[in-house]
């Protein structure tokens, strides 16, 4: 089950060269298990055929107000009522203008007036049109009514111009819809998440590292953004794409990771230390590639200071969540790290299990909290574990708020 499973998304396609990208948007939405209903303006049909979108959405495509009037049902009202969200992509200057002024002279604009669900517009047009004061005003009107605008991207436009006006990547539009349909309980939270391994150089071509891929930390960052948080992700070397909406700070070594974390720490309201930070680094980094030696070699390692206790000592009302990667005595080791690092809770995983820990999409974790509570999850996807950790963060915030109001009233 993904966040869009069983949601009904109505995609409104307007006339414009970017209409062809609506096909990819519809494909991604159906792949995310959403029920997709497409409606098209007359001009949109000049750029892409209803048949294409019908095949990809696995539903008939609504092309004008009257063909939808079937039996006793009024089609445009039904489309508006059944939608969990509506996205207009691409949104032309014409439809933006009509919607801003409450006009309803075709199917798309009529559905928009009849809808009570969240609505997003993804404008795409020539840069001069996008920058025209009339369009700017119309977009501002839509925003003032709570309609989300997925900003167009900048780049080469089909009309030959360069500038803002390209339809954003369909995958980005899907992310915006996902956030729109998620609960926004983390609004106001500023999450600093660390993720991935670190690499400690031996020489210019070799390094010491670990098996972390960053999947767990990236999943937490993604889930937190979807739930309304501002998220900064300090990531060691990882092939994973940056989660949409998240600011990524790339680092390589433990020193860089800990330095970036300390620098951003004052900004955050919650630190999630999911990175697998190296505990040792080569005592000397050779300036040139080491030559092979038939006698072998001894690599001297020096310890890396754990900066987490120093950070938590100045945490104030921030929440600090640590991770523990263990291969034995999971709970005892986790409880010990919780105390040593002065964490609010620690998420421990047995990295020797094939279905948990490094490089897999699932995890089984034991969460040990500073108040003594413990829970072990069944096998879940890392996205689900990410959401669960954020649920525990919000429970802790709720307990603190209750304590705070009790103290204030006594």
Q: How many C-beta neighbours within 10 Å does residue 128 have?
A: 13
Q: What is d(CA 198, CA 209) in angstroms, rounded to the nearest whole number? A: 6
Selected range binding ligand CTP among 68-76, 117-125, 141-149, 302-310, rule: CB under 6 A: 302-310
C-alpha angle 382/220/404, rounded to 5°?
125
Selected range binding ligand CTP among 128-136, 235-243, 323-331, 363-371, rule: CB under 6 A: 323-331
Binding positions for ligand CTP, 226-255, rule CB under 6 A? 254
Closest CA to 261 of 320, 310, 193: 193
Shortest separation between residue 252's beta carbon and ligand CTP, angstroms:
15
* Cβ atoms of residues 368 and 329 within 8 Å: no
Binding positions for ligand CTP, 338-357, rule CB under 6 A? 341
Of the residues 121, 323, 345, 358, which one makes contact with ligand CTP according to CB under 6 A: 323
> Catalytic: 159?
yes
Of the residues 10, 325, 367, 389, which one makes contact with ligand CTP according to CB under 6 A: 325
Of the residues 191, 273, 367, 385, which one makes contact with ligand CTP according to CB under 6 A: 273
Q: What is d(CA 209, CA 75) in angstroms, rounded to the nearest whole number? A: 59
Burial of 318 (0-12, 13-18, 19+ CB in 10 A): middle
Q: How many C-beta neighbours within 10 Å does residue 261 have?
A: 24
What six digits make up the tokens of 177? 């819809």
Q: What is d(CA 353, CA 358) in angstroms, rounded to the nearest whole number? A: 9
What six digits make up the tokens of 138? 């119309």
Q: In this complex, which beta carbon is closest to ligand CTP, that of residue 324 or of residue 335?
A: 324
What would the x/- binding string for ligand CTP be over residues 167 to 206, using CB under 6 A? Answer: ----------------------------------------
Q: In this complex, which beta carbon is closest to ligand CTP, that of residue 167 or of residue 195?
A: 195
Say whether the peptide bond before residue 90 is cis (omega within 30 degrees of 0): yes
Shortest separation between residue 407's beta carbon and ligand CTP, angstroms:
30
Shortest separation between residue 280's beta carbon and ligand CTP, angstroms:
9
Binding residues for ligand CTP, rule: CB under 6 A, are: 254, 273, 275, 277, 279, 304, 306-308, 322-325, 337, 341
Q: Active-site positions?
A: 159
């Amino acid at each position: 089950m993904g966040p869009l499973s069983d949601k009904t998304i109505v995609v409104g396609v307007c006339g414009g060269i970017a209409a062809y990208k609506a096909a990819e948007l519809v494909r991604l939405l159906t792949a995310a298990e959403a029920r997709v209903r497409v409606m098209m303006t007359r001009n949109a049909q000049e750029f892409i055929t209803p048949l294409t979108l019908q095949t990809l959405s696995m539903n008939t495509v609504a092309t004008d107000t009257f063909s939808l009037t079937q039996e006793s049902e009024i089609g445009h009202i039904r489309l508006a009522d059944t939608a969990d969200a509506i996205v207009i992509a691409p949104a032309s200057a014409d439809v933006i203008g009509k919607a801003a002024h409450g006009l309803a002279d075709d199917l798309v604009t009529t559905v928009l007036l009849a809808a009570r669900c969240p609505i997003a517009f993804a404008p795409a047009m020539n840069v001069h049109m996008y920058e025209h004061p009339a369009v700017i005003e119309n977009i501002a009107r839509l925003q003032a009514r709570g309609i989300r605008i997925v900003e167009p991207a900048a780049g080469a436009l089909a009309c030959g111009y360069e500038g803002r006006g390209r339809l954003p990547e369909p995958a980005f539009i899907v992310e915006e819809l996902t956030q729109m349909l998620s609960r926004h309980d983390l609004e106001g939270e500023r999450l600093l998440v660390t993720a991935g391994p670190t690499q400690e150089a031996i020489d210019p071509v070799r390094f010491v590292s670990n098996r972390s891929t960053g999947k767990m930390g990236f999943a937490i960052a993604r889930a937190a953004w979807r739930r309304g948080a501002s998220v900064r992700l300090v990531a060691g070397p990882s092939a994973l794409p940056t989660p949409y909406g998240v600011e990524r700070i790339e680092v390589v070594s433990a020193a860089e990771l800990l330095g970036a974390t300390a620098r951003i720490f004052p900004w955050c309201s919650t630190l999630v230390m999911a990175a697998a930070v190296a505990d040792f680094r080569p005592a000397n980094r050779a300036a040139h590639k080491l030559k092979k030696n038939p006698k072998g070699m001894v690599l001297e390692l020096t310890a890396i200071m754990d900066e987490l206790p120093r950070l938590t000592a100045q945490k104030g009302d921030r929440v600090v969540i640590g991770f523990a990667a263990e291969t034995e005595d999971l709970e005892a080791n986790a409880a010990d790290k919780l105390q040593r690092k002065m964490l609010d809770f620690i998420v421990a995983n047995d990295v020797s299990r094939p279905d948990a820990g490094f490089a897999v999409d699932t995890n089984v974790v034991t969460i040990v909290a500073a108040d003594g509570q413990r829970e072990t999850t069944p096998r879940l996807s890392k996205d689900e574990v990410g959401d669960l950790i954020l649920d525990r963060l919000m429970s802790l915030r709720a307990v603190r708020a209750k304590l705070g109001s009790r103290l204030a009233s006594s």
